[in-house]
Structure 1
Amino acid sequence: MKCIYTALLFTMLFTYGQAQNTLEGTITSSDRNEALPMVQIYFPQLEKGAVSDDDGKFTMSGLPSGSYKIVASYIGYTTYSKTISIAQGKNFLNIELLPSAIEMEEVIVSTPFHKLQRENVMKVERADVTDLKAKGAITLSDGITNVPGVESLSTGLGIGKPVIRGLSANRVLVYTQGVRLENQQFGDEHGLGVSDAGIESIEIIKGPASLLYGSDALGGVLYLNPEKFAIAGETEGDVNLNYFSNTNGLAANAGIKSSGEKFKYLVRGSVASHTDYHTGDDVSVTNSRFGEYDLKAGIGYQTVKFKTDLRYNYNNLELGIPEELGERTNERSPESPYQEINNHILSSKTNLFFGRTSLEAILGYTFNNRKEFEEGEEGAALDMDLETFNYNLQYHLPKWGGLESIVGVQGMHQTNNNYGEELLIPDATTSDFGIFGTSHLHFQNNSDLQLGLRYDRRSIEGKEHGEVGEEGYIEALDRDFNSFNAALGYKWELLHRITGRLNLASGFRAPNLAELTSNGVHEGTNRYEIGNGDLRNEQNVQTDLSLEYKNEHIEIFVNGFYNRVNDYIFIEPNGETIESDAVFAYQQDDAKLYGGEIGLHIHPHPLDWLHLESSFETVTGKLDDDSYLPLIPANSWTNTLRTEFSEPSRWFESSYAYITLKSVFKQGNISTFETETDGYALLNLGLGAQLPLFNQKVDVRISGNNILNTDYVSHLSRLKTDGISNIGRNINLGISVPF
């Protein structure tokens, strides 16, 4: 590690005085040949950007020599994307933007080649956090359920974790600040644990991504993009306030960021507090209250051929574990049982540019402390520390025609230690190492081929706990897991209107400590869990086919998948009880999941401000004996009528309004220890505007979820077995003020 930082410091000093390459140009509209101001111009790989002035002109300096993708985006126009060569000295580029009623496209960061969605071989969903908040999302895990094919396994409001096409828990990998988020996520009641404050967007890979991320990416990846630094020479700040009627919830965050030619920084703090939520029957769910504190900060330094940034995130959560219904109170501090979670994430990202090649190094350290307090006991019954060090080194090979290639190594070293009276998993050490290569080939006929190969090895060593023959005994563990994985994808265009994507990828997941070693009562789930030390890798192969039709006024998409999972790990009751707790044991069997999403988006001319959106999603999961898998989301159909006005008026700079009806169908395809879940429909609506106040553009919004106050239970709610419904009507008021 010392050698790495010494080399980076030497490179920084060497490049400090390198020649300054610049890029100048003008942005115009192709239809009217008028200059376009406030257009965002950005080099994704360099993470440098600029904004065009009133005359449509822009200038960027400090650019390294070589070929890099440049992106220009502006509301009402098709996003411009092109790879250009930067030579020494002054460079010039004039850009014409084509009018379009389709929303602006953004660069996809979770895939390795920094392409727009339309250029990607792999289909990746992307959502802006500001859009999710505008729809009244209370938490980040609540907000992602607005993305087709994505749901949340929830315990009340404060605890939720992503479900991608029927797969969840350790099968879905979460990335934040460019590193793995490791926070004891093996438990169903262990939530996402990330604040939406300081998160700019979310990218979701729906399918095996082990080629890019290794173990635990068997079902997909939730990639959280942190807030960008300010453009060079700019200083920005904002304050955001939110109120939620159902929980008397208060949330606030404030941030400031500034960038010079070389140094830049940002900082954002947030706080949230919620009382118990009440259901559609206006019944309070006792101890569903929660509170959160969050701090995010970053500093960066950039020269011509070198850039680096260091980011830190501290998150504190106090989460009540709801177990019953009761009278509503205004208490905000949780009562027992409750969890207290502290999470520290420190990450660095460094890039070296060598002209035709580049090297990227991402290092991360995560410290997670999870405590659980039980009724009638002093101190924490559970007290677990998890320390994780991640590294990810990627070398971009020279481009050869339309061929781009990357080789890299990734790894992780992790230790788990227990300090409480109770123990769910033993003290253990986990080590990962992976090596991979991937290539993207662009053909002249606007088709693309992407392929890659990877090898991973994981070692897990767990310490013995307890006495042989006694309840709670865990024997020592020493297991190694390894896997080869490959991915192959092809994208083609037909008549410049239809885009097809066919992807075939394998993935794997090594069993986690809970699955291998459990032997005791898991209080959060009210059951006695027994692990299986002989569990093997889960290994899957998934086929994805997607078709998209798009013109200026209509978009249609159809996505289908078939996912074969060998040695699928699941837990089910064995019919026994220990001290009144049902015994659940971990087992393995082959499984399959299949389904997809279909959607329509109409924005008719000349009513370009009007948007009609409709999407349907379905997934079925079965074991090889034809029995159904547990915790598979019900089919759902979402319809939205939305208006957007981007042109300034007398009162507003811009405005929007929407009404959404989400229909969730009855879930009757259930496992042997589940019960059926009735269908329901939720009506949501909202509106917002950007107002010119005190020489600032202030965003105000109001939204209402479950407007009809429907009393319902989600099939993915862990409170369903206790007869507790989901949240009733909730009105959200929000304001964002820049300074």
Structure 2
Amino acid sequence: MKFFWIGLCLSLLTLNSFAQDSNFELSGTVTSQTGDALDGAYIKIGDQYFWTSEEGFYSAKLAEGTYQIEVSIIGFTSLDTVIQLQQDKRLDFVLVQSVNGLDEVMLEGHQHKKTSQQVLYVDNEYLQDQFSGSLASSLEKLPGFNAMQIGSGASKPIIRGLGLNRVAVAENGVKQEGQQWGADHGLEIDALQVEDLEIIKGVGSIAYGSDALGGVVRIKNNKVPEDGLSGSVYTFAKSVNNSLGGSAQIAYKKNDWFVKGKLTGLTFGDYNLPTDQISYLNFDIPIYDEQLKNTAGKELDWYTQIGVVKDRFSSTLSVSNVYQKSGFFPGSHGIPDVSRVQPDGDTRNIEEPFQRATHFKVISNSNFVFENGELDVDLSFQKNHRQEWSLFHTHYAGQQAPEINPNLELDFDLDTYGAKTTYHHDFDKRNETQIGLDAQWKNNEIQGFNFLLPEYHSANYAIFAIHEFEASKQNLWTLGLRFDYGKIDMEGYYDPNLYEFLIGNNQSEETATAYAQRSQDLNRDFTSFNARVGWDHRFNEQFSSKVNLGTAFRLPTAIELGANGIHHGSFRHEQGDPNLNPEQGFMADVSLNYAENSWNINLSPYAYFFSNYIFLRPSGTFSLLPHSGQLYSYTESEALLTGLELKIDKEIGRWHFGVAGEYLYNQQLTSSRSRNYPLPFTPANNVFTEVGYQLFTDSKVLKASEVNINNRSVMKQDRIAQGEDITPGYSLWGMGFQTKLKFDDFKANINFRIDNLFNTKYFNHTSFYRRLQIPEMGRNIQLSIKIPFGQS
């Protein structure tokens, strides 16, 4: 197989010389009705992105074919059209100024402001085409981005090998707050409701604070709809878990106000595995009918937004709720028992153990426009309620089932209040400064017959400033500063049943007391000061670069400071350390870009050094908690993380070629070289390749039709942390077809694809079920249809 891909790459280089004759130039200008050139207008041609020059000029080299074009810039009504390109063509656009003077905060999803950071832009159409059951898994084709899988309906983002509490997810400027530390549950985000999305790779701590070490997934759901009634209906089906779902969106705008509503529902059954047996803790566990029992689930999400847009003021109020329920494979909780995995005759039944999560969110975004500046005010409330249910069981005598909800094992109820204000001031066309205040308050309550995480209250206050200086059209400099003050107050928890159990097993009173005091009262303060400098430089029309240097930080979380119990989600006894310090690090990030003749190449090396990286480390001693195995302790160590990302896109006639690869290397840096293990939860080096071919280019019914074949090759992951297993490499093939159907006024986007085409048995190194030796899902056939209506 490797010879095939080597030959493909060589063919690309060879064909480039022959492709020049089949490429045509599409060029023109974008101006206002008064004839003024519009500098920085955003132009999307097919899947490629362009921006106009200072004179409003744009130019693109494209292969022969049919293209959909979208043109937009803040303050003007956007345009879209479809053209047939068979020769060099000039196409000028005249944009009409918006009556309401739309401001940046409301429409920034379609104008990508020049920035020194590395940013990947994704729209709703891409997410729906690539939808794989969750937000993170739907983005895995992007370079440097991986998903930590939790069954078939949930996942967490990993950017550059950093995940969990090291990647921030923000919606409309507000950072999502749940139980991010857990590897056994996903994001409470509806991927089908996302309008626009940006992935900021590299440290985003200056603007988003703690949790943004690896990057930021920035969701934008504040796009202003067009006048009148518009919307869409989206449906999909998946074979691997008999998934059925749909999402409906509707919007209405009149004069200077608008309202939007969205609803998503899906249900899925136990998912298929390409195996009939797994081995865990020396038990051979059968997988009946190659279906993993009790992995079914369901989800119901709704979202509403009302907004007003005026000349110098705009505001939106968004209210949303995400509800998720999914089962755990019975072998993932407690001691393996073959009888528990016997089929029950209903592949959609959700039995105990299962998890249930609800995330309710209210976000208010307001923007005030002044003569030389703008003020953004973001207020938010979030309620994240997560539960794990399992038939009551105790590992030691004396513990009685609770009278209320006796099978509720873990219950985390987190309330988060946030307030953020940012003032943007334009000194002139070349200098802009942002000054912001950011405050957040959390309250986490617990219930359940098991103990893992104590109750806590926390607060964080920050001030930050970012200045951008455009020295010339070729050079943009950015300087960012941030100071944080955080505090956490944790409640103690004493377990008398555990004390009696240990005394009965001949442990000393000192040892029994130490174990029974599951968490101590803790009140700590933290401070952190950080800085980042960035440089965006364009050498010429083809070559450009971005360089970022700076510091990074992350405050220790409640789980790292106060955990002490058996975490079924990680299959071990986890213990926090109340003396941990905030993570501190230094980062260097470079992005090199080349674009010409439909070649788009990006090479991104980066490096991070942490003075005290926090991670779970096997202690080398066995826990005295029954059935808990080895004790894992949160600890800190110097660490190095470095890597390289590569993305290549090329158009040759009707052909499209794409490659996205990632190389990761990291390790702990301790006083003993024999203990310099790699960091845990590190994805394996991987490369994704896709070849597409345009069909029906002359058809008036089937637009933007393409058939494609793809391959994901993942290397063996043998650079593992203590307690992890080596994961073999694998190669997955897939194929797909997509088209836009049009009959008169009727439109439909159709997407058909097959993942894991050859039903390959493989393991994902970062998967929740990896420790149980459970492989990933088998062959999946998926069909999705989107039908827009109204002004869309």
What's the TM-score, normalizing by structure 1? 0.85
Q: Do the aligned residues in 2 keep the contact of 1:204 with 1:220 (CA within 8 Å)?
A: yes
Is residue 2:362 matched to residue 1:346? yes
1:239 lines up with 2:200 in the alignment: no
State the Cα RMSD in Å: 2.9
Q: Corresponding residue for 1:441?
A: 469
Distance 1:57 1:490 in 2: 31
Map of 1:403 onto structure 2 = 431
**Aligned counterpart, 2:643:** 595
Work out whether 1:551 is the aligned partner of 2:596. yes
The offset of 1:111, in angstroms, is 14
Structure 2 residue aligned with 1:6: none
For the pair 1:292 / 2:293, whether they are aligned, the reply is no
Q: Which residue of 2 aligns with 1:64?
A: none
Seen in structure 2, the aligned counterparts of structure 1 residues 112 and 293 have a Cα distance that, compared at 3 Å, is closer
- Kindly provide the amino acid, as one letter, of the partner of residue 183 in structure 1: G
Q: Which residue type is aligned with residue 601 of structure 1?
A: D
Deviation at 1:392, TM superposition (A): 1.3
Number of equivalenced pairs: 670
Check whether the contact 1:197–1:268 (CA below 8 A) recurs between aligned residues.
no
Separation in structure 2 between the aligned mates of residue 500 and residue 548 of structure 1, nearest angstrom: 6
- Aligned mates of 2:39, 2:380 — CA distance in 1: 27
User: 2:321 aligns to what?
Assistant: 314
Distance in 2 between residues matched to 1:107 and 1:565, nearest whole Å: 40
Distance (Å, rounded) in 2 between the aligned partners of 1:421 and 1:98: 65
Q: Is structure 2 residue 714 aligned with structure 1 residue 664?
A: yes
SS in 1 for 2:126: helix
1:371 to 370, 374, 387: 387
The Cα of 1:113 is off from its aligned counterpart by 9.2
The answer on whether the counterparts of 1:107 and 1:114 sit within 8 Å (CA) in structure 2 is no
Helix, strand or coil: the match of 2:384? strand
CA displacement 1:107-137 (0-9 Å, x = unmatched): 9999999896683211112223432432352
Counterpart for residue 221 of structure 1: 216
1:144 Cα shift? 1.9
Change in Cα spacing, 1:78 to 1:430, as seen in structure 2 (3 Å) is closer
Alignment of 1:373-388 (within 5 A): 373-376=389-392, 378-388=406-416
5 Å-filtered alignment, 1:190-201, equals 190-201=185-196
Tell whether the 8 Å contact from 2:130 to 2:139 is kept in structure 1 after alignment: no
Whether 1:680 aligns to 2:730 is yes
Contact kept? 1:110, 1:223, Cα under 8 Å: no
Which stretch shifts more, 371-380 or 654-663? 371-380
Helix, strand or coil: the match of 1:221?
strand
Is 1:143 matched with 2:138? Answer: yes
> Structure 2 CA distance, aligned partners of 1:118 and 1:351?
18
- Report how far residue 68 of structure 1 moved: 10
Paired residue for 1:355? 371
Do structure 1's residue 478 and structure 2's residue 523 form an aligned pair? yes
Q: Is the 8 A contact 2:576 2:633 kept in 1?
A: yes
Instruction: Answer yes or no: is 1:455 the counterpart of 2:449.
Output: no
Name the CA distance, whole Å, in 1 between partners of 2:385 and 2:306.
25
C-alpha separation in 2, matches of 1:665 and 1:687: 28
| Most deviating of 668-677 and 222-231 | 222-231
1:464 offset after TM fit, Å? 1.7
Mean Cα deviation higher: 542-551 or 415-424: 415-424
d(CA) in 2 for partners of 1:653 and 1:647? 7
Aligned to 2:206, the other structure's residue is in SS state helix
Q: 1:215 to 1:384 in 2, by over 3 A?
A: same
Range with bigger deviation, 352-361 or 193-202: 193-202
Aligned mates of 1:113, 1:298 — CA distance in 2: 17
Q: Tell whether the 8 Å contact from 1:430 to 1:461 is kept in structure 2 after alignment.
A: yes
**C-alpha separation in 2, matches of 1:615 and 1:336:** 40
- Distance in 1 (CA, whole Å) between partners of 2:780 and 2:737 is 15
Match status 1:692 vs 2:662: no
Within 5 Å, give how 1:39-50 maps onto structure 2.
none
**What code does the residue aligned with 1:427 have?**
E
- Tell me, yes or no, if the aligned pair for 1:229 and 1:258 is still in contact at 8 Å: no
Which whole-Å CA distance do the structure 1 matches of 2:744 and 2:368 have between them? 43
CA, structure 1 residues 187+72, in 2 after alignment: closer, same or farther (shift >3 Å)? closer
Matches within 5 A, 1:386-397: 386-397=414-425
CA deviation profile, 1:28-73 (whole Å, cap 9, x unmatched) = x99687x9xxxxx9xxxxxxxxxxxxxx9979xxxxxxx9986343
Contact 1:269–1:295 under 8 Å retained in 2: yes
Matched, 1:256 2:255: no
Bigger mean CA deviation after superposition, 238-247 or 573-582:
573-582
2:584 to 507, 532, 539: 539
> For the residues of structure 1 that align with 2:177 and 2:27, how far apart are their CA atoms?
51
What residue ranges of structure 2 are gaps of 5+ in the alignment? Answer: 1-23, 64-68, 75-103, 277-289, 332-340, 394-405, 496-512, 671-675
Provide the secondary structure at the position in 2 that maps to 1:397.
strand
Letter of the 2:428 counterpart: W
SS of structure 2 residue aligned to 1:686: strand
Instruction: Identify unmatched segments of 5+ residues in structure 1.
Output: 1-28, 36-40, 42-55, 60-66, 84-93
2:626 to 565, 579, 583: 579
2-structure distance, mates of 1:401, 1:722: 58
Alpha-carbon distance, 1:347 to partner: 0.1
The residue type equivalent to 2:381 in the other structure is: Y
Amino acid across the alignment from 2:644 = G
Task: State the distance in 2 between where 1:350 and 1:645 align.
Answer: 45
**Contact 1:463/1:476 (8 A) holds in 2:** yes
Q: Does 1:270 align with 2:264?
A: yes
Deviation at 1:640, TM superposition (A): 0.7
Q: Does 449-458 or 277-286 show the bigger shift? A: 277-286
Mean CA deviation greater in 693-702 or 477-486: 693-702
In the alignment, structure 1 residue 634 sits paired with structure 2 residue 684? yes
In the alignment, what sits opposite 1:53? none
Q: Percent identity?
A: 26
Distance 1:555 1:99, change over 3 A: closer
Cα offset for 1:561?
Answer: 0.5
Equivalent residue letter for 2:223: K
Instruction: Tell me the distance in 1 between the aligned counterparts of 2:740 and 2:357.
Output: 37
Q: How far apart, in 2, do the equivalents of 1:136 and 1:718 lie?
A: 20
- Opposite residue 367 of structure 1, the aligned amino acid is K
Contact 2:256–2:310 (CA under 8 A) maintained in structure 1: yes
User: Per-residue displacement from partner, 1:56-107 (whole Å, max 9, x unpaired)?
Assistant: 9979xxxxxxx99863435368634579xxxxxxxxxx96553443997999
Residues 105/614 of structure 1: CA separation in 2 closer, same or farther (3 Å cut): farther
Deviation at residue 480 of structure 1 after TM alignment: 0.7
| Deviation (angstroms), 1:638 | 1.3
TM-score of the superposed pair, with normalisation by structure 2? 0.80
- Is 217-226 or 320-329 further displaced after alignment? 320-329
**Counterpart selection for 1:210 from 199, 205, 208:** 205
CA distance, structure 1, for counterparts of residue 494 and residue 554 of structure 2 = 28
Is residue 168 of structure 2 the alignment partner of residue 173 of structure 1? yes
Map 1:5-84; keep pairs closer than 5 Å.
Answer: 71-75=41-45, 79-81=50-52
Larger relative helix fraction: 2
Displacement of 1:526 after TM fit? 2.4
1:306 deviates by 0.7
Which residue identity is paired with 1:591? A
CA deviations on 1:374-432 (whole Å, 9 max, x unpaired) are 13473422222100011110101133241111111111011111233333222211101
Q: Which moved more, 1:583-592 or 1:688-697?
A: 688-697
| Structure 2 residue matching 1:709: 3-state secondary structure | coil
Q: Does 1:305 align with 2:276?
A: no
Match of 1:98 among 23, 48, 59: 59
Larger radius of gyration: 2
Cα pair 1:229 1:257 within 8 Å, conserved: no
Cα offsets for 1:452-487 (capped at 9, x unmatched)? 111011110111222554535211110111100100
Asked whether the equivalents of residues 453 and 485 of structure 1 are also in contact (C-alpha less than 8 Å), the reply is yes
Please give the alpha-carbon distance, in whole angstroms, between the structure 2 residues aligned to 1:150 and 1:234: 38
